[in-house]
Structure 1
Amino acid sequence: MNLASPDVASAKRSIQAIRAARLFDGDETVVDGDPTVVVEDGRIVSVRHDGAVPSGAELVDLGDATLLPGLVDAHVHLAFDGSADPVGALAARDDAQVLEGMRAAARTALAAGVTTVRDLGDRGYLGLRLREEFAHDPAAGPHLLTAGPPITVTRGHCWYLGGEADGVEGVREAVRAHAERGVDVIKIMASGGELTPGTHSHLSQYGLDELRAAVAEAHRLGLPITAHAHGGQAVADAVEAGVDSVEHCSFFTEDGVEAIPEIIERIARSGVVVSATLGVIPGGAVPPRIAARMAALTDLFGQIRKAGVTIVCGTDAGIGPPKPHDVLPHAVGMLVRMLGWPPADALRAVTSLPARLCRVDHRKGRLAPGMDADILAVAGDPLADPAALLDVRAVFRLGHRVR
């Protein structure tokens, strides 16, 4: 993988015409017949359907490939290294080492065509430093949105990241502190989780009062808020509190999955987005207690989709060997094979829909005039076979070719 250096990237300021055999615009349109995306100064200025190249433009002809918007992963953890013990590995590294690992993880994602990532839990706000680096050198990594340390109860899920807060006033103060640091989104742990001994995924950590306080403060400060919620009660309370999205939404019980139809209907009525945790590399060993629930989870998300809930993909990349930071393309195949989604719907779940959730849909998630030139080109046709996403031919970040 050879990412463009700053000097090379800054030199590429001319008009480009990026042409391929097919194009999916991230919304509804599929174009055959040599569509061409015209790019100037990092933005898309036009999408041509006639294969014509504007005078003076540099032609990048990718042949039998499909152009798509750069992918958007709505849930990653760049600070976790994807090892068998990501928490222990993180604890063993100082901030400089963690930051270097985060840079490498971000480059891995970008090389796979993931041009926007939402980091929902780092240590000590290190993601803010990385966000600044990539803003000055977009060829070095994806567009980064960051939550900082997730807000959690004392010794709660992911407490070791530094976001402990208790009670209504403690939660309000934590949201304010995150906003003052400049985060893009608030992440709150409504339930326990799989990576923290002493917590339990099916049990709530915060009650409705604390969640309402967090939501009110985040929205007062102009920030979206998402809730990590596995158990049914945690999901119900998060939705009732008015969060913008729910991570996982798995309706875990102590030993299984129990869909609660009235809560699913409430999610649909409220417009809350579900960020489904999908994406595993082939041969990746899912923890046994999760593997045992896969059939029930498949049925659950069928019910959630049937109810009309908007579902986007968030991989939780970094939390273990099955989930490296370039795992998002595999999530599309899972949506098609396991959940029976049409490929176009699955592609929207990793492009335009998460861009809207992340409040960057004015710039990301579609190939259209005025959008950032974050572009993925893959061999073949992912609308016929999602595995085509794994055969990357080119990646552009703000018009800079990084692969």
Structure 2
Amino acid sequence: MLAIRAAKLFDGIGPGTVERPVVLVEGGRIAGVVPGGSVPADAVPVDLGETTLLPGFVDTHVHLAFDASDDVVGRLRRASDEELLERMRAAGRAALSAGVTTVRDLGDRGYLALRLREETAKDATAGPTVLASGPPLTTPRGHCWFLGGQAEGVEGIRAAVRERAAHGVDVVKVMVTGGDLTPGSDPCHVQYGHAELLAAVREAHRHGLPVTAHAHSAAGIADAVSAGFDMVEHCFFVTGIAGDGDADDPGVDYDRRILDDMVRLGVVASLTLGSLPGGPPPPPRIARRIPGLVAGLAAMREAGVGVVCGSDSGIFPVKAHGSHPYSVAAMVETGFTPLEALRAATSAAARACGVACRKGCIAPGFDADLVAVAGNPLADITAVHAVTAVFREGVRIPLD
């Protein structure tokens, strides 16, 4: 049995911290949490000093197959499956070193994330626990069509969902709108009709699978909520590019009626905020949206929409694998409290991903997925950048 000792502990739920905790770990699971720093005589002590222990982060939105280069799409298309899988292994290790012990991969090629899921299930040091969607459903030449998930029509959608269920995916992802990553794709354009979206939801639920929507625009989010999606990725309510650059037209419109529907139906928003510092400034069309985005997130918070934290890592250089702590901090920068941000990255994220029975909380019976940070992130969220120790299922991960 291990007895892991730290200065403070946030259990993933809150509202505060436990002082001088000792977390007892046996067989990869948490056997007990004892405040006050007393180590049982038969335990092996691990003293982490003046740190705060947190549940391992659950990143709700990653793309392990994307390498965060300046040519993400080209490099993916040129890579063999084995080359791509090796990059995904490295991406997973980078995420784990940053304290992310569970990732939900929302778009790979050839179901490679399922192969990685098997590898990391056997070896805790190989990477985080992987939840995977396989190739996302998209229209012919639609957003991320190059991942191989093109499907159209009600019967085509149903067949695509059945294929994913047969492969054993953890979630079905549908590209409801276009996206910036794909040349010729428009984030404000809705790709599927209501009948197709409804078919995706019903077929996924028939197989016991949750279904999540990539949706940037207000119209796409409304369509996804109306069709019964369980979650919406990004969920930024963009309405288009302001044609004349007028600051009064930021291109964001958070519709309170849709937010109220999300609350009523329990639809969760998977926010993909944050990026590495030092990158280039956002292009003008994005910069114009930022004030509306921040105001909209405040409206979402006020309405009581459930939110979780994803990094969207891999898609751009400023979204490198291992950058998830910047997504957690960005939630605070845009108006959430540190407690809300930490819950969104731990217990709420685990619940949204269907693993709340074993992830996202430091409590007896849960997987011993732990991250130690220098400082107290409930007082200063930037402490999440100072990761000093990571445990996955009780195994301490070597940090670079």
Q: Which bracket does the TM-score occupy, shorter chain normalised? A: over 0.9
Q: 2:320 aligns with which of 286, 309, 324?
A: 324
Q: Which amino acid aligns with 1:383?
A: L
Three-state SS of the structure 1 residue aligned to 2:317 is coil
Structure 1 residue 55, shift from structure 2 partner: 2.1
Mapping of residues 142-181 of structure 1, within 5 Å: 142-181=128-167
Q: Tell me if the contact between 1:151 and 1:165 (Cα under 8 Å) persists in the aligned partners.
A: yes
Q: Which amino acid aligns with 2:257?
A: E
Which position in structure 2 is the counterpart of 1:63?
49
Which position in structure 2 is the counterpart of 1:122?
108
Say whether residues 1:245 and 2:231 are aligned partners.
yes
Which position in structure 1 is the counterpart of 2:247?
none
Three-state SS of the structure 1 residue aligned to 2:271 is strand
What's the CA shift string for 1:259-285, capped at 9, x where partnerless? Answer: 222112211211100001112111123
Which position in structure 2 is the counterpart of 1:311?
307
What's the CA shift string for 1:369-391, capped at 9, x where partnerless? Answer: 00000000011111111111111
Three-state SS of the structure 2 residue aligned to 1:209 is helix
Q: What is the Cα-based RMSD across aligned positions, in Å? A: 1.0
Distance 1:30 1:262 in 2: 33
Distance 2:347 2:26 in 1: 22
Mapping of residues 54-133 of structure 1, within 5 Å: 54-133=40-119
Q: Tell me if the contact between 2:6 and 2:53 (Cα under 8 Å) persists in the aligned partners.
A: yes
Distance 1:139 1:304 in 2: 37
Q: Which amino acid aligns with 1:387?
A: T
Q: 1:359 aligns with which of 354, 357, 362?
A: 354
Structure 1 residue 88, shift from structure 2 partner: 1.1
Distance 2:309 2:290 in 1: 16
Distance 1:55 1:219 in 2: 49
Mapping of residues 129-144 of structure 1, within 5 Å: 129-144=115-130
Structure 1 residue 138, shift from structure 2 partner: 1.5
Further displaced range: 353-362 or 329-338: 329-338
Distance 1:32 1:310 in 2: 25
TM-score normalised to structure 1 length:
0.95
Which stretches in structure 2 are left out of the alignment for 5+ residues? 242-250
Mapping of residues 2-401 of structure 1, within 5 Å: 15-255=1-241, 256-285=251-280, 287-288=282-283, 289-339=285-335, 341-401=336-396
Further displaced range: 252-261 or 181-190: 252-261
Three-state SS of the structure 2 residue aligned to 1:349 is helix
Distance 2:194 2:18 in 1: 50
Which stretches in structure 1 are left out of the alignment for 5+ residues? 1-14
Q: Tell me if the contact between 1:31 and 1:49 (Cα under 8 Å) persists in the aligned partners.
A: no
What's the CA shift string for 1:212-237, capped at 9, x where partnerless? Answer: 10000000100000000111111111
Structure 1 segments (4+ residues) deviating >4 Å: none
Distance 1:88 1:302 in 2: 37
TM-score normalised to structure 2 length:
0.95
Structure 1 residue 50, shift from structure 2 partner: 2.0
Distance 1:287 1:50 in 2: 47
Distance 1:202 1:383 in 2: 36
Percent identical across equivalent pairs?
A: 57
Q: Tell me if the contact between 1:22 and 1:30 (Cα under 8 Å) persists in the aligned partners.
A: no
